[in-house]
Amino acid sequence: MSHGSFHPVVMFHHPPPPLDLSSEDSRPPPPCSALSRLRGRCAYPAGGYDEPRFLYTQPLFAAAAVPSGGAGVEQRGPQYVYGGRRDVHVGVDVMCPAGKPVYAPAAGTVWSAGYNGDAGDYGGVVITRHALEGPRGVVVFYVLFGHLSRRDALRWAEGDALEAGTFLARVGKRSENGGWEPHLHLQVQLTEPQGRDMPGVVARDDRERAMLEFPDPAMIMKLEKTVMA
């Protein structure tokens, strides 16, 4: 697989500047103004993989990460065992305005979709499954798209077919995305997800194991790793 194997998940007009939320006083940047977007002057910061952060203060991050999705949890294996105070981000964030379209990176199917409504959670979420030919054979992987429009996420059903570039959803508003500044959370998993969830943040003691299960999404984002702060 290579950068060329994937359709962009978000259309960039300019190379994304690096996003760094690792300092104690850091906060997500506000989105571009409507006028800047109209003039094509927005550069959406992107990054945050394998980044310790201080901003996860909600109760959701003080307990073990367990999957959302009801019956699907029992059908698809054991619960996650990522516990403790979780503060290491294992996905990539793209700071873009509510309403920004998000696309499937490759042909595949919808693994799960729905709405995770707790404070600090993903809000609208879609997980896709893909199988692509790599140098060592077929690689199966799953991609989570979080903080989406609730309405858009709920229109998908398990097993729906996707092509590269299929419109998945729009980025959600703060009122429907877990209470965050509007952005896309993108995460890759090499094992089967449980329900409609992936632990986007893990404890520092679990970091090495998480890096193997949730690899850097830089290639799928069609971004070089050098811009992943």
Low-confidence ranges of the chain (pLDDT < 70): 1-4, 28-43, 63-84, 222-229
Instruction: Supply the pLDDT for residue 141.
Output: 95
Sheet with 46-47, edge to edge strand ranges: 46-47, 92-94, 184-189, 137-148, 123-134, 108-116, 161-162
Q: CB of 150 within 8 A of CB of 168?
A: no
Instruction: Supply the pLDDT for residue 75.
Output: 33
- pLDDT tens per residue across span 24-51: 777 766 666 554 554 455 667 888 899 9
Q: CB of 196 within 8 A of CB of 187?
A: no
Q: Which residue has the tokens 């069609």?
A: 222
CA pair distance 150, 174, nearest whole angstrom: 11
Sheet with 88-89, edge to edge strand ranges: 51-52, 88-89, 201-202
Domain boundaries, the chain: 3-24+44-227
Instruction: Supply the pLDDT for residue 127.
Output: 98
Instruction: Supply the pLDDT for residue 222.
Output: 58
> In sequence order, which residues have a C-beta less than 8 Å from that of residue 184 and are 6 or more positions away?
9, 10, 93, 94, 96, 100, 102, 145, 146, 147, 148, 171
* CATH of the domain spanning 3-24+44-227: 2.70.70.10
